[in-house]
Amino acid sequence: MNSRQRVPRFSREPGVTLPRFRRIAGFVSFAFLFCVSPVFGQASATAATDSTSVPDVKCVIGVKDVKPNATGVITVQGDSVRFESGKKKGQIRVNQIQDIYLGNESRQDISGLGGTAMKAAIPYGGGRILSLFSHKVEVMTIEFIDDNGGYHGAIFVLPPGHATALKSLLVSKGARVTQHAEPPPPAEEKQ
Amino acid sequence: MKNRSILSIVACGAALLLAGQAGAQDKAAAAPTKLSASAIQIGRPEASPEIVIPEDFRVATYENVLLQLEKTKKFQTVYRIGDRRADDVKDLVILKLVPAKYTAGSQKQREVTTVKGATSIAFTVQFLDKSGKVLLEKQVEGKVRFYGENLNATYDFAKKVAKVVGESF
């Protein structure tokens, strides 16, 4: 009879200790996971901030193949800025950008041909009261050159709070910008 | 007596006819000769320390002028400033836009008051040949008086530039 007691490999019984190398291996693997997981986390965060898209953007003018005053989605992805309005698409490569300007404006809540006709139809000048309602917008102007060296300019009207982030993202991707005075905030917002 | 009156009527008629012909000849002589070019290059609106025009207005002016001149079909090619392909064109005309006036209006003021808040933008439009000689110079103004966004002034300006091109080329 063998008097030597055999220690089970995976014992959950109290008082039974695992061999030393198993404890070290467990500690090393835990340390590895602890070190590696933030790296993956960082990578996914970068991927999340590497691209962005803003809906309800009006392209006033300047994007090839897109009609003036078209409304659509602007996307910064990879090395380009894309504007998509229905089936029409246009893009500007980041390395073509020469400068980016930001501005603030206000737009009428009721505008366009239908809105104007409606305002005119309200009796006793009631349409003028509707004209008092407006909302703030941000205007982003991108200057860029094409492959032949021709100068282009594109104007986008964005909902408030997006233009600065878009500009920062484009600058981080290598878009050129020159130092110029940022426009003052609208009169209503001055303190 | 009757013969005299007939003679005087004929003489008056002849005098009027001659005067009319002379006037028509003067008019023909005064009419400017039309310019001709196969291509035009649009320059960017210049920056001026006295007249500060917002960048979106300058860009919108440039792009609208380009679109409107393409629509006139007076030129085979409309080049952008900086386009290297324009260097090889012999009879190239260069369009230069020198700021003359800018009034920042307000859409809200326009729509509420109808008499205030007009936006206007004016440039001295120069057509130059390759050597820099001024072929034609005119001041053109674009406005938004009643309805529409401020940037529509640049569209109005571009339409007027296209009209000048239509008359002169």
Q: What is the CATH number of the domain that holds B132?
A: 3.40.50.10610
Domain identity same for A129 and A151: yes
Residue whose token pair is 């590497």: A50
Domain identity same for A65 and A32: no
pLDDT tens digits, residue range B48-83?
Answer: 888 999 999 999 999 999 999 999 999 999 999 999
β-strand pairing of B92-103 with B134-144 = unpaired
Give how far Cα A55 sits from Cα of A3, A64, A74, A101, B108, Å. Answer: 78, 19, 6, 20, 25
Domain identity same for B136 and B58: yes
Collect all residues of chain B within an 8 Å Cβ-Cβ radius of residue A134: 107-108
pLDDT of residue A22: 65
pLDDT of residue A48: 47
Please tell me which of A7-11, A48-52, A167-171 the model is most confident about, judged by mean pLDDT.
Answer: A167-171
Domain identity same for A109 and A39: no
* Nearest CA distance, A52 vs chain B (angstrom): 23
Domain identity same for B26 and B101: no
Domain identity same for A30 and A101: no
pLDDT of residue B113: 86
Domain identity same for B43 and B123: yes
Domain identity same for B24 and B105: no
Collect all residues of chain B within an 8 Å Cβ-Cβ radius of residue A60: 56, 60, 151
What is the count of structural domains for chain B?
Answer: 2
- Inter-axis angle of helices B55-72 and B152-168, to 10 degrees? 40
Q: Average pLDDT for residues A138-152, to the nearest whole number?
A: 96
Q: Which of A131, A145, A155 shows the shortest C-beta gap to B59?
A: A155
Phi, psi (degrees; rounded to nearest 5) at A75: -130, 135
Domain identity same for B20 and B52: no
The domain spanning residue A60 has which CATH number?
A: 2.30.29.30
A52-74 burial: b if 16+ Cβ within 10 Å, else e: eebeebbbbbbbeebebbbebeb
* Nearest CA distance, B26 vs chain A (angstrom): 44
Domain identity same for A136 and A106: yes
- Lowest pLDDT segment from A25-34, A41-50, B152-161: A41-50
Q: Average pLDDT for residues B135-161, to the nearest whole number?
A: 93
pLDDT of residue A126: 81
Domain identity same for A98 and A111: yes
Domain identity same for A117 and A160: yes
- Give chain A's mean pLDDT: 78
Amino acid making up residue B93: V
Res. A40 pLDDT band, cuts 50 70 90: very low
Domain that holds residue A77: 52-189
Domain identity same for B161 and B131: yes
Residue A181 above 90 pLDDT?
A: no
Residue A29 above 80 pLDDT?
A: no
Domain that holds residue B133: 39-168
Q: Which of the pair, A5 or A39, is modelled with greater confidence?
A: A5
* Nearest CA distance, B16 vs chain A (angstrom): 53
Domain identity same for B16 and B62: no
Domain identity same for A19 and A58: no
Collect all residues of chain A within an 8 Å Cβ-Cβ radius of residue B44: 151
Collect all residues of chain A within an 8 Å Cβ-Cβ radius of residue B107: 106-108, 134
Asked if B157 reaches chain A (Cβ–Cβ under 8 Å), the answer is: no
Q: Do A148 and B85 touch (CB under 8 A)?
A: yes
Q: Tell me, yes or no, whether A10 lies in a domain.
A: no
Domain identity same for B66 and B6: no
Asked if B55 reaches chain A (Cβ–Cβ under 8 Å), the answer is: yes
Element (H, E) at A109: none
What is the count of structural domains for chain A?
Answer: 2
The rounded distance, in Å, linking the Cα atoms of A128 and B92 is 49
pLDDT of residue B18: 65
pLDDT of residue B147: 80
Token code pair at residue A72: 């659509």
pLDDT of residue A122: 85
Q: Could you tell me which chain A residue has the CA closest to the CA of B58?
A: A153
Q: Which of the pair, B26 or A166, is modelled with greater confidence?
A: A166
Domain identity same for B121 and B164: yes
pLDDT tens digits, residue range B129-147?
Answer: 999 999 999 999 999 988 8
Domain identity same for A74 and A162: yes
pLDDT tens digits, residue range B2-18?
Answer: 667 776 777 766 776 66
The count of other CB atoms within 10 Å of the CB of residue B17 is 10
Domain identity same for B83 and B10: no
Q: Which of the pair, A13 or A127, is modelled with greater confidence?
A: A127
Collect all residues of chain B within an 8 Å Cβ-Cβ radius of residue A153: 58-60, 62-63
Asked if B57 reaches chain A (Cβ–Cβ under 8 Å), the answer is: no
pLDDT tens digits, residue range A71-121?
Answer: 999 999 999 999 999 999 999 999 999 999 999 888 888 777 788 788 788
Collect all residues of chain A within an 8 Å Cβ-Cβ radius of residue B82: 145, 149-151
Res. A132 pLDDT band, cuts 50 70 90: confident
pLDDT of residue A98: 96
Q: Which of B60, B107, B112 shows the shortest C-beta gap to A155?
A: B60
* Nearest CA distance, B22 vs chain A (angstrom): 50
Domain identity same for A107 and A173: yes
The count of other CB atoms within 10 Å of the CB of residue B148 is 19
Residues contacting residue A155 through CB under 8 Å, at least 6 positions apart: A59, A60, A61, A62, A139, A140, A141, B56, B59, B60, B63, B151
- Lowest pLDDT segment from A68-82, B29-43, B77-91: B29-43
For this complex, say whether ipTM is above 0.85: no
DSSP sequence for B110-127: HHHHSSS--EEEEEEEEE
Domain identity same for A31 and A98: no
Asked if B107 reaches chain A (Cβ–Cβ under 8 Å), the answer is: yes
Domain identity same for B84 and B25: no
Give the residues across from B29 on adjacent strands. none
Domain identity same for A61 and A19: no
3-state helix, strand, coil in chain A (%, to 5): 35, 30, 35
Q: Which of the pair, A122 or A32, is modelled with greater confidence?
A: A122
Q: Which of A107, A131, A150 shows the shortest C-beta gap to B79?
A: A150
Q: Do A108 and B62 touch (CB under 8 A)?
A: no
pLDDT of residue B6: 75
pLDDT of residue A150: 97
Do residues A90 and A69 touch, judged by C-beta distance below 8 A?
no
Domain identity same for B63 and B3: no
Phi, psi (degrees; rounded to nearest 5) at A78: 65, -125
